[in-house]
Amino acid sequence: MTVKEYNRSVEEYADSVYRFVLGNIKDEERSNDIVQDSYEKLWRNVTEIEFGVVKSWLFTTAYHTMIDVIRKEKRVTRFEPVHEKEMIYESQYSDLNEILHEALERLPEPQKVSVMLRDYEGYSYKEISEITGFSEAQVKINIYRGRSALKAYIGKIETVI
């Protein structure tokens, strides 16, 4: 990759990588640091990486850096079953975006990451598998369970609107 292509990758992908990381850890400063670290790693490997794969490489690197930060701070979400009652939104409220973000926060980390990569960023199951290191089957399971939990939390759309 050339310096011009590197700069182009910053212009094209930095915002979406930042939104992805921020959507997961909800800390602007740490999100900026993770994006910066990802681009620093890209710069160190600039001669070995082709421009065609740079988007996937950046998301993969940002994801793994984010997981390392989370583990370092001992804030890893365990694979515990979520009780259905906890995932039900009981009051009426009209801000669907706020409700959706609140519901996303309640998901276990693997489900949250998988749903965000699929539904927010538009990645395929295979690409999500490459980014997260999960098998494609596990990615599909995470997305299914995450969407089911979101649906149960939000309930009927008529109660929200």
pLDDT for 76: 44
Question: For 10-24, how does the pLDDT look when each residue is reduced to its tens digit (9 = 90+)?
Answer: 898 989 999 888 888
Q: What's the CA gap between 33 and 35, in Å, rounded?
A: 6
Give the distance, in angstroms, between the CA of residue 96 and the centroid of all CA atoms in the same chain: 20
pLDDT for 3: 86
Q: What's the CA gap between 89 and 61, in Å, rounded?
A: 35
Question: For 84-111, how does the pLDDT look when each residue is reduced to its tens digit (9 = 90+)?
Answer: 445 544 444 456 677 778 888 888 888 9
The residue extents of the domains of the chain are 3-72, 84-160
Q: Which CATH class is domain 3-72?
A: mainly alpha
Q: What are phi and psi of 59, to 5 degrees?
A: -65, -40
Q: What's the CA gap between 20 and 67, in Å, rounded?
A: 13
> What CATH code is assigned to 84-160?
1.10.10.10
Q: How far is CA 28 from CA 119, 125, 127, in A?
A: 21, 27, 25
pLDDT for 157: 56
The answer to whether the beta carbons of residues 124 and 35 sit under 8 Å apart is no
pLDDT for 74: 64
State mean pLDDT over 24-31.
86
Query: pTM for the whole thing?
Result: 0.57
**Spatial CA neighbour of 141 closest among 106, 110, 103, 100:** 110
State mean pLDDT over 32-52.
89
CA distance from start to end of the chain:
49
Give Rg (Cα) of the chain: 17
